[in-house]
């Protein structure tokens, strides 16, 4: 690899890393929002089941089952956030490797 190519790759990877930070911020917001919505819907469902005189021991499972779509959204948002973190980490590794190559080539 030539120094110019390595420098271009390094610049592109650095740009991707900057964009991934913005994407992680958005994913974090979606994660928090989905958690808020899930907890709110779960609380409403628990209240509804109590008003309907459902036995107390059944309420947690029934409530979670009744708001399972919101639970899925919450879990999916968490998975996306974690995948975003792993993607950013992969870009960091690439940047580090390119820096090492560039340093080696400039020293030679």
Residue 107: per-residue pLDDT: 76
User: What span, in angstroms and rounded, lies between the C-alpha atoms of 102 and 4?
Assistant: 9
Would the pLDDT of 27 be above 80?
A: yes
Average pLDDT over residues 28-35: 97
User: What span, in angstroms and rounded, lies between the C-alpha atoms of 53 and 96?
Assistant: 61
Residue 69: per-residue pLDDT: 97
Which residue, chain included where needed, has tokens 């409530």? 63
pTM for the model stands at 0.81
User: What span, in angstroms and rounded, lies between the C-alpha atoms of 27 and 49?
Assistant: 33
Residue-wise pLDDT for 53-101, tens only, equals: 999 999 999 999 999 999 999 999 999 999 999 999 999 999 998 888 8
Query: Is 37:73 a contact under the CB 8 Å cutoff?
Result: yes
Mean pLDDT across the chain, nearest whole number? 92
**Tally of CB atoms within 10 A around 105:** 14
Residue 1: per-residue pLDDT: 63
The two tokens of residue 70 are 């919101």
Q: Report which of 58, 72, 76, 66 is spatially closest to residue 42, judged by C-alpha positions.
A: 66
Query: Is 38:71 a contact under the CB 8 Å cutoff?
Result: yes
């Amino acid at each position: 690899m030539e120094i110019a190519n390595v420098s271009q790759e390094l610049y592109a990877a650095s740009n991707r890393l900057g964009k991934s930070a913005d994407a992680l911020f958005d994913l974090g917001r979606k994660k928090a929002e989905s958690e808020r919505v899930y907890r709110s819907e779960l609380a409403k469902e628990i209240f509804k089941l109590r008003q309907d005189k459902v036995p107390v021991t059944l309420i947690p499972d029934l409530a979670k089952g009744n708001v399972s779509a919101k639970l899925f959204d919450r879990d999916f948002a968490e998975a996306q956030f974690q995948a975003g973190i792993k993607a950013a980490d992969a870009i960091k590794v690439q940047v580090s490797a390119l820096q090492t190559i560039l340093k080696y080539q400039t020293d030679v």
